[in-house]
Chains A and B, each alone.
Chain A
Amino acid sequence: MKKLVTLFTVLVFLFMHLPIIVIIIFSFSEGQILALPIKGWTLDWYRQALQDDRLRTGLMNSLKVATAATVLASILGTLGAVAIQRYRFFGRQAFRASVVFPILLPGIITGVAMLTFFANANLPLGLLTVIIGHATFGFPVVFNTMAARLARLPRSLEEAAADLGATPTQAFRRVLLPSIRSALIAGALLAFTLSFDEIIVTIFLTGNQNTLPMEIWARLRFGMTPEINATVTMVLVLSGLLVVTGQWLSRE
């Protein structure tokens, strides 16, 4: 029985991760075609991927979009969470619901709606519109983690800061923010990751500038190539580093 459970666990694990492992292996394979057996090992695909202008531009665009959307989402999410958790005002529950709503919306609806809006607002499509689109789902992500954290943070901390003479701004900067720093990092990281690999909203809102996922997706229509494998592997390693860094920064 115990062996069966172990076997099952291994199978589930393979089911989930085998495709990723295959991609990593093939990114080092000499052959043009993804097929076994592997004839030899090489780093050529990595060199090619790094020298590929369109992949590099895509990566830079993705980083720009994700960074800007994360900054925007972090500021809005933090302020929104503080407002919800620390103030009582008319329409508070409605505000909360409306903030969280974008997470539940399918990307295609967000994309269509924002496209229409930007068209009517005469805002030319480009990285800016993508950033705004990504911020709409990054905002509730940061908001949720921050609101949950603030709910557990005793009110007396901020009262103590005020009591000792700190203005509301000083209290926020010197006591509240450091106390919720880890939640902010966790939320921002999640928003960044979501933005970095987002494709549906991006399709609608981008002009002629491709993000990395869109560039990869565009190429896949002509078949899986080894430099795509190399690119994906590099992104994987970068994301992994990012998550580990985030964990390390947000340790209590």
Chain B
Amino acid sequence: MNDQAVILESVSRAYGNVRAVDNVSLTIHAGEFFTLLGSSGSGKTTTLRLIGGFETPDAGRVLIGGVDVTRLPAYKRNVHTVFQDYALFPHLNVFDNVAFALSLKNLSRDELRRQVGAALELVQLAGYEDRKPGQLSGGQQQRVALARAIVDHPAVLLLDEPLSALDAKIRGEVREEIKRLQRETRITFVYVTHDQEEALTMSDRLAVMRGGRVLQLGTPLDVYERPADLFVAEFVGKANFLDGQLTSQAGTRATIRIADQTVDATLAFPIATGAAVRVMIRPENLRLQPPGQPGFTGVVTQSQYLGHATQYLVQSGALTLRVLELRRRGTVPHAEGAAVVVNWNWEEALVYPQTKAE
């Protein structure tokens, strides 16, 4: 069994002057839940369509299961897609929709029935065989689309923003469903989304894309805790960014002058002393302390009680800091207008070179 389900080798695809996918190289392992994360226009959907065979790259190679499929049309690839609008065949009932891929192969009627039944069982839609897609709810249509795509066990399943057309209410439910399906079938899933929360919670690994390029490839933990650049840091999760100047460094520990404060943070990249830098720190890594402690002295301007946590905005001079504090029994949330000091552990803050405004 080949461990590399999908390999993209320096793949590019342009539409006119727009480089939708720009020299992308990726390796997706067999049995992996892999996510392409990016906003619209980042090239994530085009990348998916290149794997599916709906687009042909201008340059580079696409390999599926170790075989070069660059020039192979979609119908010759052992890859199925769950489309954003589901694309269920409106004139066929649920059974015939799910049976579509099998019906193109030479299968006995009994074998076909058995496999369709198993697929419907897997998405918990047994008993809906005779319904037409128009008679199903959005969530049920979604599950038919999933069953139709996994019925003949493709090497790779591509999912194009499958949750975007669903109500927020059932989105969580379907998310669990998709994850469970992937665990049970062990099919390689390639999932496209613009939702960083989906990407973090569902993926084994993810690629953050922007402008047709992959900015970072890694586990959710890597991407969230060690963002490759400031864009990734801002796109995945929430973050505070503080501009300052690197005044000295020792190992990975850097000392930075921000406003009239001197603080310590971790160097994510080698940066020359004296350079203008930007410090990234997640709201949950900031600490609120009583006045008098070292750090940024400020005033709580907003206090939002979230149940499990409280979110604050603290104004310190020209800086606005977003702080997320987990609720603990016996503590009282800071009131708006309270004087506080904000500081952090140096390991939790990352230093990036200041790049041109983007």
Contact = CB atoms under 8 A, between A and B. Distances in A.
A164 B83 contact: no
B231 interface: no
Given A164-B100, A164-B101, A164-B104, A159 B91 contact: no
A185 to B, nearest CB: 14
Interface in B241-299: none
Contacts of A165: 75, 101, 104-105
Given A164-B80, A164-B148, A167-B75, A159 B87 contact: yes
Interface string A172-192: 001100110100000000000
A179 B91 contact: yes
A22 B84 CA distance: 58
Contact of B75 (A154, A162, A179): A162
A248 B291 CA distance: 80
B81 interface: yes
Given A163-B52, A166-B75, A167-B75, A154 B87 contact: yes
B91 A163 contact: no
A163 B104 contact: no
Contacts of B74: 159, 162-163
Chain A: interface size category? 20 to 34
B91 A178 contact: yes
Contact of B54 (A159, A166, A171): A159
Nearest to A159: B54
Contacts of B88: 160
A98 interface: no
A154 B91 contact: no
A158 B100 CA distance: 13
B317 interface: no
A161 interface: yes
Dominant SS at the A interface?
A: helix
A170 to B, nearest CB: 6
A157 interface: yes
B104 A160 contact: no
Name, among A162, A165, A168, A179, the residue most crowded by chain B CB atoms within 10 Å (CB to CB): A165
Interface in B37-85: 52-54, 73-75, 79-81, 83-85
A162 B54 CA distance: 9
A161 B101 CA distance: 8
Nearest to A171: B75
Contacts of B100: 161, 164, 166, 174
B346 interface: no
Contacts of A208: none
Contacts of B79: 163
A162 B73 contact: yes
A51 interface: no
Given A156-B83, A170-B104, A163 B75 contact: yes
Contacts of A157: 87, 89
Contacts of A170: 104
Name, among A156, A162, A163, A168, the residue most crowded by chain B CB atoms within 10 Å (CB to CB): A163
Nearest to A156: B87
Interface in B88-111: 88-91, 100-101, 104-105
Nearest to A170: B104
Name, among B84, B88, B90, the residue most crowded by chain A CB atoms within 10 Å (CB to CB): B90
A179 B90 contact: yes
Given A157-B89, A159-B83, A166 B73 contact: no
A178 to B, nearest CB: 4
A54 to B, nearest CB: 45
A157 B79 CA distance: 16
Nearest to B104: A165
A245 to B, nearest CB: 20
Contacts of A166: 75, 100, 104
Name, among A159, A168, A178, the residue most crowded by chain B CB atoms within 10 Å (CB to CB): A159
Name, among A160, A166, A167, the residue most crowded by chain B CB atoms within 10 Å (CB to CB): A160
20 contacts: A154-B85, A156-B83, A156-B84, A159-B83, A160-B87, A160-B89, A161-B100, A162-B53, A162-B75, A163-B54, A163-B75, A163-B80, A163-B81, A164-B101, A164-B149, A165-B101, A165-B105, A171-B75, A175-B89, A179-B90
Given A163-B79, A168-B75, A179-B91, 5 more contacts: A154-B85, A163-B52, A164-B149, A166-B104, A171-B75
For the complex of A and B, 4 pairs with smallest distance between CB atoms: A156-B87, A160-B87, A164-B101, A162-B74
